[in-house]
């Protein structure tokens, strides 16, 4: 743009000057008016449009680089970590987005315990035990007392429709049992929807005031080995033991395009179990809230997904990458489950239930035998 010299403007007649100034006003205010109008349009019209899939609306890679705080630790003895170690299995210990994959032996629990104790963290373990699932609660709590977050502050949040049937398991020092009334439903889908709704509501109204991290687990699980602070992160998921070696086309994602949980065959990182997930309270709140909203939308549209809440969890974790991924070791019992045989039977079509149900069956057998003995 060529500017008109001030001397030339002064020589112009008054009528020409007013025309010139009017032209300048139009040139200046027209783009401003256009920009303002577009902003109003975007706010009023575009702002009302919902994204196609609400579980993808955040669409972040890693919301937080979840490194532990730098703390001074006292002198302690522990074995030196090896950078080069021979292994019979070629396993990944890091995701493509640089989140650690936690396998047994890839961490030094003594160091982690001291770091988390110095931060004085508290952990909430959330479990739902309604209807016939109350029978699993005793084994769940007893094994959690032995193996879950040993030496750290823990609150058991037990949602049940039968408070009087909660077993008398005395928590150890630094632990507390909180019994909260919940509704029971004969329909499994309603149970999963209700679980997501309740966790999101309590995360916002109560959990955020009482604990730093939340771990959500299914009650028909038992803890067979130590599960400690190595799992804690802003957001963690657990690799499903059935699918961790399968290509994405064979993963049990929801394939109905009209569903909120839909994942196409050319998408996906891993398949996560719905039986064990968690993170910081705010992240668990975001996860459960969006999953609940997506489940309600599908229910209103009469869309039934393949794997209930697990389908929505996987859709959420696809677009909101976890900052830590737990290996399948956290979802099977090495003592009674031969992984190679299990996979062969699954591939041959002889076994279709997931590992959680195998573990639940073992618990049922144990409970039955205890009843016969008594």
What is the enclosing helix (H) or strand (E) of 216? strand 213-217
Domain boundaries, the chain: 97-335
How far from each other are the two terminal CA atoms of the chain, in whole angstroms?
96
pLDDT for the residue numbered 52? 63
Establish whether 245 is an annotated binding residue. Answer: no
Question: Average pLDDT for consecutive 10-residue bins of the chain (374 residues)?
Answer: 46 50 54 60 48 61 52 59 51 89 90 93 97 95 96 97 93 95 79 94 96 97 94 96 85 94 93 96 97 95 92 96 94 58 49 39 44 44
Contacts within 8 Å (CB) and 24+ apart, 57-64: 57/290, 58/286, 58/290, 58/319, 58/320, 59/319, 59/320, 60/319, 60/320, 60/321, 61/97, 61/321, 62/97, 62/98, 62/99, 62/321, 62/323, 63/234, 63/235, 63/283, 63/320, 63/323, 64/234, 64/323
CA distance 140 to 227: 13
Q: What is the pTM for the complete model shown?
A: 0.73
pLDDT for the residue numbered 234? 96
Q: Pick from 318, 310, 235: which is nearest to 270 by CA?
A: 318
Q: Pick from 325, 322, 334, 321: which is nearest to 102 by CA?
A: 325
Query: Nearest 10 degrees: CA dihedral of 122, 128, 129, 130?
Result: 150
Establish whether 310 is an annotated binding residue. Answer: yes
pLDDT for the residue numbered 322? 96
CATH of 97-335, one of 3.40.50.620, 3.90.550.10, 3.30.450.20, 3.65.10.10: 3.90.550.10
Match 């000057």 to its residue by tokens: 17
Find the catalytic residue in 310, 329, 335, 362. Answer: 310
Establish whether 187 is an annotated binding residue. Answer: no
Residue 3 falls in the annotated catalytic set: no
Question: Which tokens hold the place of 158?
Answer: 């037990």
Dihedral angle sign, alpha carbons of residues 73, 78, 82, 88 = negative
């Amino acid at each position: 743009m060529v500017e008109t010299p001030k001397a030339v403007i002064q020589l112009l007649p008054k009528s020409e000057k007013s025309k010139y100034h009017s032209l300048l006003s139009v040139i200046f205010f027209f783009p401003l008016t256009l920009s303002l109008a577009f902003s109003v349009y975007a706010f009023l019209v575009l702002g009302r449009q919902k994204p196609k899939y609400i579980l993808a609306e955040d669409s972040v890679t890693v919301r937080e680089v979840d490194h532990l705080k730098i703390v001074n630790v006292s002198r302690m003895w522990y074995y030196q970590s090896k950078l080069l170690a021979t292994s019979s299995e070629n396993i990944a210990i890091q995701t493509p987005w640089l989140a650690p994959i936690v396998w047994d032996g890839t961490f030094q629990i003594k160091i982690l315990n001291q770091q988390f104790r110095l931060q004085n963290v508290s952990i909430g373990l959330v479990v739902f035990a309604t209807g016939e699932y109350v029978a699993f609660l005793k084994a769940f709590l007893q094994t959690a007392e032995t193996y879950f977050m040993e030496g750290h502050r823990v609150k058991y949040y037990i949602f049940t429709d039968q408070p009087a049937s909660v077993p008398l398991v005395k928590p150890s020092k630094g632990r507390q049992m909180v019994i909260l009334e919940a509704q029971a439903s004969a329909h499994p889908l309603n149970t999963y929807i209700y679980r997501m709704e309740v966790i999101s509501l309590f995360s916002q109204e109560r959990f955020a005031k009482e604990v730093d991290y939340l771990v959500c687990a299914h009650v028909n699980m038992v803890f067979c080995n130590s599960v400690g602070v190595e799992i804690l992160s802003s957001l963690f998921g657990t690799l499903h033991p059935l699918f961790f070696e399968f290509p994405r086309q064979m993963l049990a994602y929801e394939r109905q395009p009209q569903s909120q949980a839909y994942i196409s065959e050319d998408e996906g990182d891993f398949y996560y179990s719905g039986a064990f997930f968690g993170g910081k309270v705010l992240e668990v709140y975001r996860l459960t809230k969006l999953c609940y909203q997506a489940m309600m939308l599908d229910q209103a549209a009469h869309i039934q997904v393949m794997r209930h809440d697990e389908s929505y969890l996987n859709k959420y974790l696809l677009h909101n990458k976890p900052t830590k991924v737990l290996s399948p070791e956290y979802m099977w019992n090495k003592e009674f489950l031969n992984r190679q045989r299990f996979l062969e039977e699954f591939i041959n079509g002889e076994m279709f239930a997931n590992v959680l149900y195998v573990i639940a069956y073992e618990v049922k057998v144990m409970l039955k035998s205890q009843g016969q003995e008594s």
